[in-house]
Amino acid sequence: MQALEARHLVKRFFGVTVVNDVSFIVRPGEVVGYLGPNGSGKTTTGRMLTGLVDTSAGQVHFDGRNIADDLVAFRRRLGYVPEEPHLYGFQSGREYLELVARLRELPRTTFEPKIDAFIELFGLADAAHQSIASYSKGMKQKVLIIAALLHDPDVLIFDEPDSGLDVTAALVLRHLVRALAARGKAILYSSHVLDVVEKLCDRVIVLHQGRIVADDSVSNLRQLMTSGSLEEVFRQLVLRTDPEQTARDIVAVMAGHA
Amino acid sequence: MRERLLVRHFLQRFLDHDLISPQADRRHLLTVTGAMVIVTTLFLSVFISVKYQFDIFMPPGLTALFALDDRFFWFSLSTLVMALIAVAEWDALALDARDTAVLGALPIPGTAIVRAKFIAVALFVVGFDVALILAPTVLRVAALPVMLPVTPAGVLILAAAHAACGLAAGAFGFIAVLGVRETLRALVGLAGFRKISAGLQALLVVFLATSLLLLPVSYGAVARRWMTSGRVTPFAVPPLWFVGLHETLAGRAIDGIPRAVPPPRYAAAEHQATALYRSLWPLFHRLAVVAAVALVLAVVVTAIACAWNSRRLPAPPSGERGGPGRLGRAFVWSASHLVARDSATQAGFFFTLQCLARSATHRITIATSLALGLALVMVNTGGIDGPRASALSTVPIHGLAVQTWVLAAVLTAFRHAVRVPAEVGANWTFHLAWPGDERPYLAGVKRAGLLTLVVPTLALLFAWHTIAMMPRVALEHVACGAAVAVLMMEVFFVRYQKLPFASGYVRTDDLKSLVPLYVVAVLLLSLTLAAFERAALASLTGSVVFFGALLAAIVGVHAVDVRRRRRRLPIDLDEPLGGTIRALELVR
């Protein structure tokens, strides 16, 4: 089974545990939402799942095998959209995509038409030959999404892929994720936009202070927490402060009434 | 208060620099740079004063003449080093799009930002310039023979004149570069300047670094070589302007010393030196005027150009680059079909070309090595006077060895450049898409290096060789160079387990001991190779054996590398931990 499985993942940085005993499975055709406040360990989990960061304990399995046994083979079947759009600023968007395609050993006859089509579909045609340094965040994000899709991967990890995207591109992305899942791809989707996760994901994992505090379908979580929306669920599971009160405090500080 | 903060912000920009010190600690960088400048000039001051301390009876005429050499050296050093600093800082010299992004949103008048930038640049120039002239000014008294009766006032005048002229020379070097940059930007506009900026910067690095490297061999006998030979007009050499200014200000302090009867061994030389020195007085005065006018002109033109360019904060780059033209597409097609046929080789090939051409750090590394190569060629140009050689056996060995030195300089720089990541933050691209076999990617990198660096270098060397050798001989020698370059490239990448341009980079800790050893090894090997080449290419059999041996060496080294890589050792993709991190036990 081509499922991505995290088994008791732990990550410590200089003695501080940022991910603690995290286990879950993402099955083919499934979109799993990965939620949590800033600093809860979402990005670190994503990086451990891709093998970009070593685990302090635990293992990642794909297709029943530990990815550490053959990381290159796993990455051939992986697409990853990172949170931070770090790209080579001196390259054009097209050159970056060509580099990725060539590193992935795709034949020129395959990747050239694919890149052309992707660039057109993502609305980057006018900027394809401009240097990435002049791209907006959304444009960089589109380049990252294309790079993750070029080799038709079996498993996709999206780490806040909608950040910086315009409304149209965000809508396209939402439909794209569903279409990819329908084609049997296993997808982990990390985002802060609860509405999107609620509409898009079959299952939601909520992370708090490095630990999983919930792992279930959105409907089950709603029933369990007797809440009307995912936002309410998230509020009950994770938030330790009242957001409305915090907002009022911020306004007070801004106006000098603190 | 606000202006002071802005000035401090701009001064920090000179240290937090993309090219010089990305992500470096500012205090550390400042300490190391300051110490390096002061220690180097201190050493040179002591070194230069040795000849006066070992010749304590040197009379005034000879002392004045020798002092001309010293002043020329110091003022050239100030001019070139300050000009190189300006080239290194380049984009930080003027307000740029990053300043617009950071400061544009704040309620600060544009004039305040521009004024703060001007002040920061001025402070930076003065700070560096003072550090450069400090040691030779303080030790000016040591560069005088002990028995020369210079009065304390005379010593003070000499030191003050050295300080003033050294500062002026350094400022001129810096302002000249800034002026060229800003005037060009004013003439062609911001968008046009962005297109030519990188090329201009690289060209200036080659020119200035070559001049700096040639300084040690060109500063002796200044009066005879530069001022009276008639071969080079002294007005074309800026440091000589400041020598003239110095002599106008303080020349009398030595020349005006009453002449006693010199020791017999000095008598004739002293008489000639005094006559020569005094014959140059009118030239000194004219050079002094040129120095003053040139400095004022440079300041005025630069200030006007800077003010014009700073009328509004610069907009971020609009990304006007179009797709590759017909020539570019033809190159990509040819390279993809002839040089790098499979995808991973193409990745290495094209990414290397992009890094070398577009990444400032890599471009400057290569430009510096070209400057070194150019300096080596120029130093050796003196040995090729006379009729063109019709056989290699008549060419001096050092004349043959220079080709290997230039190739070694260029390829060593290339070997260093591949160690430096193109952008550390983007290394993850390679980590994720890495195909698992480094051989094709490395082959692409090596081919790009040979095509873009070795082929043009050999073409230039061939043109230079034809001045000294018959074309057939030059061709034989260049063919030898091509084989040596391929061999060097193979040797440099044997056991290379990092990913060119995409692995983490930590500076080699024992560079200070390795570099001299490496230089000595290159010198010895190149001279030995030149001797073999000269002997072997005298006959057909010798030529066949020589080229056969080189070919066998290339194939042998390549085979060793291929065999080693069959074992599929893991490639080093991650950033290795530096000595400091290990020492502080900041390890997971």
Rounded-to-integer distance, Cα B198 and Cα B449, Å: 19
Question: Is the pLDDT reported for residue B438 higher than 90?
Answer: no
Q: How confident is residue B508, by pLDDT bands cut at 50, 70 and 90?
A: low
Q: What pLDDT is attached to residue A258?
A: 56
Which has the closest alpha carbon to B353: B459, B290, B446? B446
| Chain B contacts to A (CB-CB under 8 A) | 316-324, 336, 342-344, 346-347, 350-351, 354-355, 358-359, 422-423, 425-426, 428-436, 441, 586, 588
Interface contact A137, partner B, CB < 8 A: no
| Contact: A52, B322; criterion CB under 8 Å | no
- Pick the range with the lowest mean pLDDT from A250-254, B139-143, B223-227: B223-227
Q: What pLDDT is attached to residue A226?
A: 60
Q: What pLDDT is attached to residue B585?
A: 45
What's the token pair of residue B191?
């968008």
Q: What pLDDT is attached to residue A1?
A: 54
| Contact: A103, B347; criterion CB under 8 Å | yes
Q: What pLDDT is attached to residue B17?
A: 64
Which has the closest alpha carbon to B575: B431, B359, B363? B431
Nearest C-alpha of chain B: how many angstroms from A106? 7
Instruction: Give me the mean pLDDT over the B422-451 stretch.
Output: 90
Q: What pLDDT is attached to residue B495?
A: 82
Provide the b/e sequence for B241-264 (b: ≥16 CB within 10 Å): bbbbbbbbbbbebbbebeeeebee
Nearest C-alpha of chain B: how many angstroms from A70? 10
Question: Is the pLDDT reported for residue A115 higher than 90?
Answer: yes
| Contact: B429, A87; criterion CB under 8 Å | yes
Give the tens place of pLDDT for each residue, A118-163.
999 999 998 999 889 889 899 999 999 999 999 999 999 999 998 8
Express as a percent the part of chain A with pLDDT over 70. 94
Nearest Cβ partner for A133 among B317, B422, B436: B317
Q: Are B292 and A103 in contact (CB under 8 A)?
A: no
Complex confidence, ipTM: 0.85
Instruction: Give me the mean pLDDT over the B70-81 stretch.
Output: 94
| Contact: A82, B428; criterion CB under 8 Å | yes
Instruction: Pick the residue of B432, B434, B445, B586 with the most A CBs within 10 A to test the interface with A by mutation.
Output: B432
Interface contact A122, partner B, CB < 8 A: no
Rounded-to-integer distance, Cα B420 and Cα B545, Å: 39
| Contact: B350, A72; criterion CB under 8 Å | no
Helix (H) or strand (E) holding B549, with range, is helix B540-565
DSSP B105: T
CA nearest to A153 within chain B:
B433
Contacts of A100 in chain B (CB under 8 A): 429, 433
Interface contact A18, partner B, CB < 8 A: no
User: How many Cα neighbours within 13 Å face the side chain of A24?
Assistant: 27
| Contact: B429, A88; criterion CB under 8 Å | yes
Give the tens place of pLDDT for each residue, A38-57.
888 899 999 999 988 889 99
Q: Which residue has the tokens 């995912």?
A: A230
Q: What pLDDT is attached to residue A257?
A: 66
Instruction: Give me the mean pLDDT over the B283-310 stretch.
Output: 93
Express as a percent the part of chain B with pLDDT over 90. 38
Q: What pLDDT is attached to residue B20?
A: 53
Residues 6+ apart with CB under 8 A from B506: B575, B576, B577, B578
| Contact: A129, B430; criterion CB under 8 Å | no
Q: Which residue has the higher pLDDT, B444 or B11?
A: B444
CA dihedral B203, B205, B210, B211 (to 10 degrees): 100
Residues 6+ apart with CB under 8 A from A26: A3, A4, A5, A32, A155, A186, A187, A188
Q: Are B270 and B262 in contact (CB under 8 A)?
A: yes
Q: What pLDDT is attached to residue B321?
A: 58
Q: What is the pTM of this model?
A: 0.80
Nearest C-alpha of chain B: how many angstroms from A82? 9
B154 Cα distance to chain centroid: 37
Instruction: Pick the residue of A47, A84, A88 with the most B CBs within 10 A to test the interface with B by mutation.
Output: A88
Q: What pLDDT is attached to residue B574?
A: 59
A155 bridge partner residues: A78, A186
Interface contact A74, partner B, CB < 8 A: no
Q: What pLDDT is attached to residue B582?
A: 45
Instruction: Give me the mean pLDDT over the B279-289 stretch.
Output: 92
What's the token pair of residue B30?
């400042």
Question: Is the pLDDT reported for residue A99 higher than 90?
Answer: yes
| Contact: B354, A95; criterion CB under 8 Å | yes
Amino acid at B185: R
Amino acid at B395: V
- 3-class DSSP state of A57: strand
| Contact: A108, B336; criterion CB under 8 Å | yes
Q: How confident is residue A219, by pLDDT bands cut at 50, 70 and 90?
A: confident
Rounded-to-integer distance, Cα A240 and Cα A170, Å: 30
Nearest Cβ partner for A87 among B347, B426, B430: B426
Q: Are A143 and A87 in contact (CB under 8 A)?
A: yes
CA torsion through residues A90, A95, A100, A103, sign: negative
Side-by-side strand order, sheet with A211-216: A78-81, A155-159, A186-190, A31-35, A203-208, A211-216
Residues 6+ apart with CB under 8 A from A199: A174
Q: What pLDDT is attached to residue B386?
A: 60
Nearest Cβ partner for A131 among B319, B347, B430: B319
| Contact: B588, A56; criterion CB under 8 Å | yes
Interface contact A32, partner B, CB < 8 A: no
Interface contact A56, partner B, CB < 8 A: yes
Give the tens place of pLDDT for each residue, A8-27.
999 988 888 899 999 999 99
| Contact: A75, B354; criterion CB under 8 Å | no
Q: Which of residues 198-227 of A touch B (CB under 8 A)?
A: none
Taking one residue from A and the other from B, the number of pairs with CB-CB distance under 8 angstroms is 102
Contacts of B194 in chain A (CB under 8 A): none
Question: Is the pLDDT reported for residue B383 higher than 70?
Answer: no
Rounded-to-integer distance, Cα A188 and Cα A32, Å: 5
Give the tens place of pLDDT for each residue, B117-170.
899 999 999 999 999 999 999 988 888 888 888 888 999 999 999 999 999 999
Contacts of B344 in chain A (CB under 8 A): 102-103, 105
Nearest Cβ partner for B316 among A51, A72, A134: A134
What's the token pair of residue B377?
């060629």
Nearest Cβ partner for A129 among B322, B343, B435: B322
Rounded-to-integer distance, Cα B158 and Cα A11, Å: 67
Q: What pLDDT is attached to residue A48?
A: 93
Side-by-side strand order, sheet with A16-26: A16-26, A4-13, A57-62, A65-66
- CB-CB neighbours of A214 under 10 Å: 19
Nearest C-alpha of chain A: how many angstroms from B428? 7
Nearest C-alpha of chain B: how many angstroms from A88? 6
CA nearest to A84 within chain B:
B425
Contacts of A78 in chain B (CB under 8 A): 432
Interface contact A43, partner B, CB < 8 A: no
Q: Which residue has the higher pLDDT, A241 or A133?
A: A133
A22 Cα distance to chain centroid: 16
Q: Are A11 and A17 in contact (CB under 8 A)?
A: yes
